[in-house]
């Protein structure tokens, strides 16, 4: 581990909450997924990748399109556990969290169609894009997400 009094060196391994996270030597390029979801990893984490449908425990900050924070684990004063197999979880999180490793940090830009849609949900206005900053604390296998069966 490379540390200095001024902070961490680029490419260093950091330990937070007893979890190792690799800080990339170069910022990772954002990855665009179908329907406009954009993922940017700032720390890669360690161990196996979180699969789709897992139950995840995260720290997060959620922002509206104007950049204002509408929810966070700091506000809740506790981490948040999300069952990614639950269809009530917004699609942007169900699709944007898998692939993370414990200790990883990711920013997920979620277009409104993968968030709360045309109707919104208090305090989220209709047709509002969201940005989630996620730190994956742990994951446990969940119910696999099965693709829809044709008629």
Give 73-109 pLDDT, tens digit per residue.
999 999 999 999 999 999 999 999 999 999 999 999 9
**Cα 4-5-9 angle, rounded to 5 deg:** 30
Structure tokens at 141: 């296998």
| Mean pLDDT confidence for 111-126 | 96
Look over the chain and give the mean of its residue pLDDT values, rounded to a whole number.
84
Tokens 């789709």 -> residue: 52
Of the listed ranges 31-35, 37-41, 80-84, 122-126, the one predicted with least confidence: 31-35
**Cα 33-102-109 angle, rounded to 5 deg:** 30
| Mean pLDDT confidence for 35-40 | 95
Residue 50 near residue 96 (C-beta atoms within 8 A): no
The pair phi, psi for residue 67, each rounded to 5°, is 90, -5
Residue 21 has pLDDT above 50, yes or no: yes
């Amino acid at each position: 581990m490379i540390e200095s009094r001024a902070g961490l060196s680029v490419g260093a391994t950091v330990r937070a909450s007893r979890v190792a996270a690799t800080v990339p030597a170069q910022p990772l390029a954002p990855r665009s997924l179908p329907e406009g979801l954009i993922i940017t990893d700032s720390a890669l984490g360690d161990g196996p990748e979180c699969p789709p449908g897992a139950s995840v425990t995260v720290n997060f900050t959620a922002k509206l399109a104007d950049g204002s924070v509408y929810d966070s684990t700091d506000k809740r004063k506790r981490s948040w556990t999300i069952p990614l197999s639950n269809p009530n979880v917004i699609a942007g999180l169900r699709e944007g969290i898998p692939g993370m490793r414990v200790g990883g940090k990711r920013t997920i830009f979620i277009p409104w169609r993968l968030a709360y849609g045309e109707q919104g949900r208090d305090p989220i206005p209709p047709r509002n894009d969201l940005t989630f900053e996620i730190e994956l604390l742990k994951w446990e296998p969940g119910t696999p997400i099965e693709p829809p069966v044709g008629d």
